[in-house]
Amino acid sequence: MAYPAMPRFLELPVRAVVITAPGGPEVLNLEEVPDPVPGEGEVVVEVAAAGVNPADVLQRLGFYPPQPGASPYPGLECSGRITAVGPGVSGWREGDRVCALMAGGGYAELAAVPAGQLLPIPDGVGLTDAAALPEVACTVNASVFGQAKLAPGEVLLVHGGAGGIGTMAIQVAKARGAVVACTAGTPAKLERCRELGADLAISYRDDDFVPAVRDFTGGRGADVILDIIGAPYLARNIEALAIGGRLLQISIRAGGHAEVDLDLAGPPGGGEICGRRGRQGPGVAAGGRGPGGAGDRAHAAAGGGGTGAPPAGRRFPCGEDPAGQLRNHSPLRGAAVGRENRVRAPSGDPVLVSGHAKHGPGPWPRTGRARHPAHRVTPDPA
């Protein structure tokens, strides 16, 4: 349905969660900000949900500044509907349901996003749920299948199997024919990993994953290891690798300095160690709809083989104070965030998707005048 144009003075200003200065959670404020205008090759997305990532905590603390030219507001992924299309954009139109991997700016009602960083939402994934897809889907595809080239029948060991990266890696690897082992810290998390398809789930509190993986593989070891821990696991990861194995070091949550006995790596040329660091710049491409691009692979991974958004979890109503909810919610109070159980909430106005929960309904409750109806997000039932 078409709506008549609403006079600009009747529209409410855009609001965003702003980091007023480096510091604790108290520096987060909800403020009115300028409306984004799509530039060349950009679209404007009305945000239905935004992901909460460890990088947002680091940005709030002053340790992870946005790249030059990127939005100053936190939020590296979002979902919503396109409300404006800039010049030079093809393949997208107003009203399209999208999710996006961003250089920043997801914690806002409207966000300008380069079209190359958009992903179509897979069938069966709700509009708000889709905010949980871009970071994990693109990370898993770029690392596990891009760098390490995990093949059907190979063994993948995932550390932190119950987190967002872990839950996505388990599902996608299984869908592509790999054998999956993982580590997690509690019986409930181990069981959840098995439900998602893990062939072997190891308690890192009670067991050493090296002999567990060696026994499971008949002494061969893992072909690919996806690690987020860092220094404390490095030597054991190398010991657990098969000859020709690949170690993917995508985070160093427990430290980045370690000494390694290179004899553990086996004969020369016995394996690879791959790293991933740095923040997305404003021009980074998720691949969009181009065939064969990272976005195409991430979309296929998220929508194919029975996989979808990461598992559902707790719900936190935002009420009238979304910035207050962020200040009080643990993922933005600490530096490490697991992303399991983070993607289901009642339908409503835009929500925030956090490390272990999704905030909703909210956080942008409207009182008095409303935006033009054509600019409103219609919540999906899924």
Question: pTM of the entire structure?
Answer: 0.75
- DSSP strand pairing (155-158 vs 179-184): parallel
Assign 259 a pLDDT band (cuts: 50, 70, 90). Answer: confident
Report pLDDT for 164.
Answer: 87
How far, in Å, are 26, 84, 255 from residue 128 at the CA level? Answer: 26, 19, 34
Q: Is residue 316 part of a domain?
A: yes
Q: Is residue 240 part of a domain?
A: yes
Q: Structural domain of residue 188, as residue ranges?
A: 136-275
Check whether 56 has a pLDDT greater than 60: yes
Boundary of a domain, candidates 275, 293, 320: 275
- Across 240-244, average pLDDT: 95
- Across 80-105, average pLDDT: 96
Output the six-digit token pair for 206: 């009670």
Q: Same domain for 271 and 140?
A: yes
Boundary of a domain, candidates 212, 242, 275: 275
Bond prior to 361 in cis (omega within 30° of 0): yes
Report pLDDT for 287.
Answer: 42
Q: Is the dihedral of CA 18, 20, 23, 28 positive or negative?
A: negative
Report pLDDT for 200.
Answer: 98
Q: Is residue 380 part of a domain?
A: no
Which CATH number is 56's domain given?
3.90.180.10
Report pLDDT for 11.
Answer: 63
Q: Same domain for 180 and 123?
A: no
Boundary of a domain, candidates 228, 243, 275: 275
Question: Which residue in the block uniquely carries the two structure tokens 């070091």?
Answer: 249
Q: Is residue 172 part of a domain?
A: yes
Output the six-digit token pair for 52: 């909460």
Assign 71 a pLDDT band (cuts: 50, 70, 90). Answer: very high
pLDDT in tens, 309-319: 555 444 444 44
pLDDT in tens, 131-155: 888 988 999 999 999 999 999 999 9
Q: Is residue 336 part of a domain?
A: yes
Q: Same domain for 198 and 308?
A: no
Report pLDDT for 310.
Answer: 52
Report pLDDT for 314.
Answer: 45
Question: What is the helix (H) or strand (E) element at residue 86, kind and residue range?
Answer: none
Question: Which residue in the block uniquely carries the two structure tokens 């309904």?
Answer: 361
Q: Same domain for 188 and 106?
A: no
pLDDT in tens, 367-381: 332 332 222 222 333
Q: Same domain for 121 and 164?
A: no
- Is residue 315 within 8 A of residue 356, CB to CB? The reply is no
Report pLDDT for 334.
Answer: 34
Which CATH number is 193's domain given?
3.40.50.720
Check whether 355 has a pLDDT greater than 70: no
Per the structure, how many domains does the chain have? 2
Q: Same domain for 46 and 60?
A: yes
Q: Is residue 103 part of a domain?
A: yes
Q: Same domain for 158 and 271?
A: yes
Q: What is the mean pLDDT of the chain?
A: 76
- Is residue 49 within 8 A of residue 352, CB to CB? The reply is yes
Find residue 184's DSSP bridge partners. Answer: 203
Range list of H helices, 265-368: 294-303, 322-328
Fill in the amino acid letter for 28: L
pLDDT in tens, 161-201: 998 899 999 999 999 999 999 999 999 999 999 999 999 99
Check whether 290 has a pLDDT greater than 70: no
